[in-house]
Amino acid sequence: MTVLLRIQNLTVEYKTRRGTARGVDNVSLELEENRTLGLAGESGCGKSTLGRSIMKLVPYPGQIVSGRIEMLLHDHVKYLKGVIERGIVNIIDLNEDQMRGLRGKEIAYIFQDPMTSLNPMITIETHFKEIMKAHYPDIEEEEIIGRAYEILDGLGILPERITDYPHQFSGGMRQRVMIGLGLALRPKLLIADEPTTSLDVIVEAQILEEVAELKDVFNLTMILITHNLGVLAQTADDIAIMYAGRVMELSSTESLFDDPLHPYAKALLESVPDVTHPEKKLSWIPGAPPDLTDPIPGCMYNPRCPHAMDICRTVQPDLITVDGGRLVACHLFGGEKSHGTS
């Protein structure tokens, strides 16, 4: 398998008047081509910060302070001459001009709220034209329309609706349009940040199914960010559970659901209703996620963890490989080798 994205020791900080918050704290992970990685964890754990770092779009006052984000690109990417080596670039090294070339074309990012990303003054057709002409100034209009039709059709939108304005669409349709625009330039990597959170569960399920089909047609690799572990159960190949800016566990979806290793992953899964076992009591995680401007020593989860030991209060656990390639950052587990951690 080919690795498309390799993140190494990535740290992102937000410097605020209240102090510095590490939104992403020394994260390392790899993503193979054509796979879907889910990012899950409670609000504020760093999912969006990690996703946006890959596009170099961390919002102010956030800043990538260290690490590497390597991506495998086509060798013919001319505007990256000098910074591309054997098809690989370190995104952190690229300037704004180079990033503009990469965004949309190699990596697309779908934001949660489509209304803030769609321009209410222009039709869907014009949205497609603007995006494609920005990257391919000589592209024929016919080709743009042809591509737009193919994508919209895959997302269940009638081609004739291409002349409509964003407000003429329902919430679900607008989100489909956003996904369609994300795919217009045939990116290799699609990062979808809570793409269906504001929709009802039926529309959500339909959209996720359509995206899964398009993923195969377009040979996409995906990062899917969501609070909803049920969504990830259906769509992700692997899941990274984040807490306080760190990856606590990274396992295949199947292993995670069968047997979560990290106490936090376990607690998160137990807080999801299980319709097949209605007799099971739904639990919640006591306490609240930590204030990242005031980090505590040891494992950031220790105040909420029922298994916390003395070492957990003093030493931050490394993310280590255990049990056939699963990764976990917890003192309850001994491991085979260290995986790019502090």
Ligand X SMILES: Nc1ncnc2c1ncn2[C@@H]1O[C@H](COP(=O)(O)OP(=O)(O)OP(=O)(O)O)[C@@H](O)[C@H]1O
Rank residues 214 and 242 by Cβ distance to ligand X and give the closer one: 242
Rank residues 20 and 126 by Cβ distance to ligand X and give the closer one: 20
Least distance in angstroms from the C-beta of 59 to ligand X: 5
Residue number closest to Mg ion, CB atom: 48
Asked if 48 touches Mg ion (CB under 5 A), the answer is yes
Q: Spell out the SS3 assignment of the chain.
A: CCEEEEEEEEEEEEEECCEEEEEEEEEEEEEECCCEEEEECCCCCCHHHHHHHHHCCCCCCEEEEEEEEEEECCCCCHHHCCCCECCEEEHHHCCHHHHHHHECCCEEEECCCHHHHCCCCCCHHHHHHHHHHHHCCCCCHHHHHHHHHHHHHHCCCCHHHHHCCHHHCCHHHHHHHHHHHHHCCCCCEEEEECCCCCCCHHHHHHHHHHHHHHHHHCCCEEEEECCCHHHHHHHCCEEEEEECCEEEEEEEHHHHHHCCCCHHHHHHHHCCCCCCCCCCCCCCCCCCCCCCCCCCCCCCCHHHCCCCCHHHHCCCCCCEEECCCEEECCCCCCCCCECCCC
Least distance in angstroms from the C-beta of 48 to Mg ion: 3
Least distance in angstroms from the C-beta of 46 to Mg ion: 8
Instruction: Select the span of 44-52, 119-127, 138-146, 171-179 touching Mg ion (CB under 5 A).
Output: 44-52
* Binding partner of 16, given ligand X, Mg ion, none, CB within 5-8 angstroms per partner class: ligand X
Least distance in angstroms from the C-beta of 7 to ligand X: 14
Total of residues contacting Mg ion (CB under 5 A): 1
Q: Which phi and psi angles does 162 have, rounded to 5°?
A: -65, -20
Asked if 11 touches Mg ion (CB under 5 A), the answer is no
* Binding partner of 146, given Mg ion, ligand X, none, CB within 5-8 angstroms per partner class: none
Asked if 196 touches Mg ion (CB under 5 A), the answer is no
Least distance in angstroms from the C-beta of 184 to ligand X: 25
* Binding partner of 21, given ligand X, Mg ion, none, CB within 5-8 angstroms per partner class: ligand X
Binding residues vs ligand X (CB under 6 A)? 14, 16, 21, 23, 41, 43-49, 59, 61, 227, 292
Rank residues 42 and 130 by Cβ distance to ligand X and give the closer one: 42
Rank residues 242 and 265 by Cβ distance to Mg ion and give the closer one: 242
Rank residues 112 and 341 by Cβ distance to Mg ion and give the closer one: 112
Least distance in angstroms from the C-beta of 14 to ligand X: 3
Rank residues 102 and 242 by Cβ distance to Mg ion and give the closer one: 242
